[in-house]
Structure 1
């Protein structure tokens, strides 16, 4: 509502913004004021109701949907027959880990493979790049750092191949640094795993609601009680206070104990989040009291001795203790490790801290959450060139939440696996695919361009050149692309129009066969090529199905297309099925990209205008 009225000016004032949002199906509002208990936010909703911009039925509908979701999730256990509230102990439960792993494996996309994958047993790997041992990168935006235990690509490969077969090559300092310090590297003051946490409430209770613009000043001026209301051992530094009824919303937390590095070396240590401080052996090494919540972590580079106990003290709330082992001579370490390795696994990309919403981050390639280039960070590009110079084959694993320029990788890497931000089991999923335990089956849900120069200006809302449907250039990797370790074949299509003609819908059927010697899943994609009329896309995905087949197994695959599936939008905004000849293709990707598939044609008459 605030964005609609105050920022984007879509509505003239806040009550009209309420009506626009609710009628579009938006049931709850989320911004800094709603999260900060700002007083008076209900006024605009009351105004909208009093002015008949919305009705009580509209309000009831939103409330029913909101409370139904809470009811089903066990968030209203006091109601008769309601599901039980889920305890925090279910986080990381085995069945949830299995689901997370399956989701990660199915989403990863094998973009290139010259035959080096799956990796052969006994292969010696050197894992290079800033994200090889990273765990923060596994999570995207708006995700909890308190999810299940994260598995890096390094750990996944060690588990799959054996620790002796995999060597980590530390990277230099990078904008992607900042992984949560694990409990295994933390001890309480009396030597137990974790840290001692103390929670302090304000001496004077804070208001239930704050007048607009006053909360930050009141919180900054708050004084806290001398004695903690709760003292307990916690696994690390993090926001775990929601299960503590005695701790108020505004509070101060203090974590004390020891940081114990597993090995000697150069580390970057600090905090992410905002509103806290960190000292190590009595020296301030991270001060986040004036930072934004989504700024990059604030870290200090230190020489640390493996096994030594370093006294740490973190204070504040909304902070996480983070670190990164880095190298003082990454190029020399890369050359040394490559000499003893058969294959280099380069794990590169971005983090959701860089490509985030409304950040204050301005570094090469990024400005306030917006990307200014599709290229990888310069230090990663330089590392890849050094890796190529060693002569060892490179298997590239990329982690990112938006398209990046993979032209270099397409020309120089032996294989490329797009892993995205794959979640807590991402390293296991990547290792399973690289070693062949899992057949890759993901497909690109967007186009990978070479440069921002391939894209229309951001402020140009015309569709020309935008998305795979209207892009006339040659992408590095097209929408829908993805490889497999097995081979699938498609039988000729059977196209059956609905009664009265294809403009009323049609059925498309093919037979899909696993022609290889490995079980696998194929994502059969159906694309339409439309009659030539202004405004129609050059091509459009109108259906897809994921099919699991054993070697030699075949199965019929059927798509039922409605008039809306067959429709397109003319320049005047009218949606209809255009008269003329269509081409329909079912295959492993877009037609014309060299993948397996079959194409057929059909004709349709002009339909009546369809609802928008």
Structure 2
């Protein structure tokens, strides 16, 4: 990509100590407080200028030296959608590390890259989407049901784990400078939001007050109070009849009044539209905008707030209400140093070389290693020997570079799949047999058919390509050319064609396909965002109204020598482009023949599970077991279990590696496959990390941040937001694998738990425990502390995680480990809806898992003495 010449006029906007008409104004005076400066700046704006700054794409105000600014940015597990970036494991994998220190370090690296990329963009006069410093991460919704496709973006099902990991992430993003924010982090989606994706714009949640305060709000409260998160994003759905982005209870009463939140609230993208279009709370965009602003939503991701200008003129909303939001927005921008000289802001000095640096790439490997959970290791199947002669690597995720990157991802300089990781680990001396075998949900594979020489337009090889500078294929094309191959993937900073960036464009390819063989063949189309295919004028594929990655096929009977009119139409919005058009033959897999072929292998590694290609945010996917990004069953797709049955019959050691963003029902696999690893969506170096674990160069110690249920029968209705019989805190059945579960290649023993016999209610306290590595491998252990309240008769969790620590022990090494129990973590929600610490006995259990698992656990009773302590009313 050609480097753009800096826009000198735009650059002038950034040096915010410039003066208006040669005079330094109060908002440019760095010796004043941010509040004084923001008040002064907003006082100088017209109503139109104020309103223009309340939408995600805010224009420049040149007379005040305010540059254009786009508020939309993502960094869920690395800087996303903005070109080159280190891609760490997906958020659920980061949480599976149970390592808050490592999370902090990872977030610091992400914010380093974000700062470096922002200042590089500014130097080049760029102020577009994904180039700012306000980031819409982390997602701290509670993963209440494993069928939710966006659960992969969360830190799991537990409020405490979510709070701790979320706090580390926010601290890593926002930095520790006493004056300046490094980035602005955003806690989302506030609140009570976790599916279904197919109804997220219209559904109404009505949880009990107990569940609201016990489960859904604690992590948000923690990030507001302890992490000092600067921004909160309100959700699409309604809560008790009010849209979350126009909720007096959530935004005004709880967030601002009770918790004292001082930052700004941003809407989820298009959520203001939902208030009138889907929730039907008000009749139009203007009323929806007034409602949202009045109740606390300062910034809109979208453009409906443009209606506020007329609303002010017509006295439907007071301009002072607009001022309040605008001041809050500029206050945050000033905290980022955007209106101060670069030399005053330490983060402007971060070099661009940190992006995709060696240190960051190594951290991505280490976090992927730490995230891997060993679920089963019968007869010490793992680690595998590096001295084997032949290994088979099989399955739909074995060489899937898309799956390991998760969603909301950046563009890595390299992607190591499990297959490549194993090849790199073993070198040329070991034969590696690769077979995809099946797809995620079916056994019909697409083998490529070369069609490059079969395409023409007006006698010229290839298809005619017409590029438009809008997403509707309207007007005169800005570029017309012939293209022999349609296969492109890039982010918003990449040119999809000379001078045309991969955003807000549409393309039409047209021409003739001339068949050389008579056969049933298929055209395959993979695209982000929308695409449709016509053959001889008939629409055969139509996904033009969607905004997610998708692959679809059109099968037809081709006749040798016959020509077919082809038209492929595609549009791309704001997240980078991907479009591929190819020919394939679809063929059903003979599983017995495949298994026979693999009998020469010394071991078989099956890499399956699911993928962000089929689970995620409001997707067009409708497959067996999947619906619009969510799942209709937690069961591993049947075709995968069927293939593993054939693989087991070979008699070879079999390892099942799951890539997933959620819990899977794998009852047969647990009972029949000797070794099972959960590697989540492990990031750019997922394959390297997996190979290190498979062959014993890293001893796994990840833990499950979600409960793995045995089957759908264990779960309430998906749309039911009640926590009854959900998550480890309230599930009364026996899980397949429990929250906090994870094995090691070694064993650990817990002894000598020391805790105070009595504690005064409201006080923190320490406990110590001795942990010994009794096995032959060096390794890490995650010590977990759970508390239960046997003396309390009102509604309460079965138990709750209240502390954890990840430690390293050499073989036969012993350590005395200290853990702090925070008083708040001992509190309960009473029938009066107070959060209080009740006098009485509490049961404390410490071990590598929950106390009812078959492992070394020590426990004791501690008496809380004194008066009841009410933390919140």
* Fold conserved between structures, TM > 0.5: yes
Residue 522 of structure 1, CA deviation: 0.9
Query: Contact 1:448 / 1:477 at 8 angstroms: preserved in 2?
Result: yes
Query: Contact 1:285 / 1:300 at 8 angstroms: preserved in 2?
Result: no
Aligned to 2:870: 609
Comparing 134-143 and 15-24, the one that deviates more: 15-24
Query: Contact 1:585 / 1:591 at 8 angstroms: preserved in 2?
Result: yes
Structure-1 separation of matches of 2:789 and 2:702: 27
* TM-score normalised by L of structure 2: 0.56
**Pair 1:379–1:276, CA change in 2 (3 A):** same
Q: 1:161 aligns with which of 412, 426, 439?
A: 426
Aligned to 1:28: 266
Structure-2 separation of matches of 1:107 and 1:5: 28
Asked if 1:222 is matched to 2:460, the reply is no
Structure-2 separation of matches of 1:94 and 1:285: 48
* TM-score normalised by L of structure 1: 0.78
Query: Contact 2:383 / 2:695 at 8 angstroms: preserved in 1?
Result: yes
Residue 116 of structure 1, CA deviation: 0.7
Aligned to 1:355: 615
**Pair 1:357–1:277, CA change in 2 (3 A):** closer
Task: Find the residue that maps to 1:238 and give its secondary structure.
Answer: strand
Q: What per-residue deviation string (whole Å, max 9, x for no partner) do you get for residues 511-567 of structure 1?
A: 223333322111110011212422111111101111122233333322222321111
Aligned-residue Cα RMSD (Å) equals 4.6
Task: Find the residue that maps to 2:872 and give its secondary structure.
Answer: coil
Q: What per-residue deviation string (whole Å, max 9, x for no partner) do you get for residues 201-242 of structure 1?
A: 64xxx7xxxxxxxxx7xx3423322469xx99x996123443
Comparing 33-42 and 522-531, the one that deviates more: 33-42
Structure-1 separation of matches of 2:335 and 2:509: 38
Task: Find the residue that maps to 1:297 and give its secondary structure.
Answer: strand
Residue 272 of structure 1, CA deviation: 2.3
Q: 2:359 aligns with which of 87, 91, 95?
A: 95
For 1:129-144, what aligned pairs fall within 5 Å after superposition?
129-144=395-410
Aligned to 2:778: 519
How many correspondences in the alignment?
A: 562
Residue 419 of structure 1, CA deviation: 0.8
Query: Contact 1:118 / 1:436 at 8 angstroms: preserved in 2?
Result: yes
Q: What per-residue deviation string (whole Å, max 9, x for no partner) do you get for residues 111-148 of structure 1?
A: 0001110001222321122111111111222223x233
Query: Contact 1:237 / 1:320 at 8 angstroms: preserved in 2?
Result: yes
Structure-1 separation of matches of 2:523 and 2:439: 8
Comparing 356-365 and 242-251, the one that deviates more: 242-251
Q: 1:294 aligns with which of 548, 553, 558?
A: 548
Residue 510 of structure 1, CA deviation: 1.3
Aligned to 2:683: 423
Asked if 1:119 is matched to 2:384, the reply is yes
Residue 286 of structure 1, CA deviation: 9.2
Task: Find the residue that maps to 1:95 and give its secondary structure.
Answer: helix
Aligned to 1:251: 505
Comparing 87-96 and 106-115, the one that deviates more: 87-96
Q: Structure 2: which 5+ residue stretches go unaligned?
A: 1-189, 191-200, 203-233, 257-262, 274-299, 446-451, 453-461, 511-520, 557-565
Structure-1 separation of matches of 2:318 and 2:785: 48
**Pair 1:351–1:142, CA change in 2 (3 A):** same
Aligned to 1:190: none
Structure-1 separation of matches of 2:631 and 2:794: 32
Aligned to 1:149: 414
**Pair 1:549–1:427, CA change in 2 (3 A):** same
Structure-2 separation of matches of 1:70 and 1:242: 25
Structure-1 separation of matches of 2:315 and 2:352: 39
Q: 2:763 aligns with which of 504, 510, 535?
A: 504
Aligned to 1:540: 800
Residue 506 of structure 1, CA deviation: 2.2
Residue 469 of structure 1, CA deviation: 0.9
Query: Contact 2:438 / 2:444 at 8 angstroms: preserved in 1?
Result: no
Aligned to 2:94: none
Query: Contact 1:27 / 1:63 at 8 angstroms: preserved in 2?
Result: no
Aligned to 1:306: none
Query: Contact 1:104 / 1:422 at 8 angstroms: preserved in 2?
Result: yes
Asked if 1:564 is matched to 2:800, the reply is no
Q: What per-residue deviation string (whole Å, max 9, x for no partner) do you get for residues 377-432 of structure 1?
A: 12112111222222223211011111111211110011100111111111111111
Structure-1 separation of matches of 2:350 and 2:303: 26
Residue 507 of structure 1, CA deviation: 1.5
Structure-2 separation of matches of 1:437 and 1:48: 69
Comparing 83-92 and 362-371, the one that deviates more: 83-92
Structure-2 separation of matches of 1:567 and 1:334: 56
Residue 158 of structure 1, CA deviation: 1.2
Structure-1 separation of matches of 2:766 and 2:319: 46
Aligned to 1:172: 438
Residue 496 of structure 1, CA deviation: 2.7
Aligned to 1:8: 238
Residue 439 of structure 1, CA deviation: 0.8
Comparing 17-26 and 529-538, the one that deviates more: 17-26
Structure-1 separation of matches of 2:869 and 2:311: 39
Q: Determine which structure has the larger helix proportion and give its number.
A: 2
Task: Find the residue that maps to 2:693 and give its secondary structure.
Answer: helix
Q: What per-residue deviation string (whole Å, max 9, x for no partner) do you get for residues 306-344 of structure 1?
A: xxxxxx998745342468998653414422333101222
Aligned to 1:128: 394
Task: Find the residue that maps to 2:598 and give its secondary structure.
Answer: helix
Residue 94 of structure 1, CA deviation: 2.3
Aligned to 1:270: 525
Asked if 1:577 is matched to 2:837, the reply is yes
Structure-1 separation of matches of 2:335 and 2:444: 38
For 1:193-212, what aligned pairs fall within 5 Å after superposition?
202=469
**Pair 1:6–1:397, CA change in 2 (3 A):** closer
Task: Find the residue that maps to 1:27 and give its secondary structure.
Answer: strand
**Pair 1:327–1:577, CA change in 2 (3 A):** same
Query: Contact 1:456 / 1:465 at 8 angstroms: preserved in 2?
Result: yes
Query: Contact 2:442 / 2:639 at 8 angstroms: preserved in 1?
Result: no
For 1:169-568, what aligned pairs fall within 5 Å after superposition?
169-175=435-441, 202=469, 219-226=472-479, 237-242=488-493, 247=500, 250-252=504-506, 269-276=524-531, 290-294=544-548, 296-299=550-553, 316-318=570-572, 319-321=577-579, 328-496=588-756, 501-531=760-790, 532-568=792-828
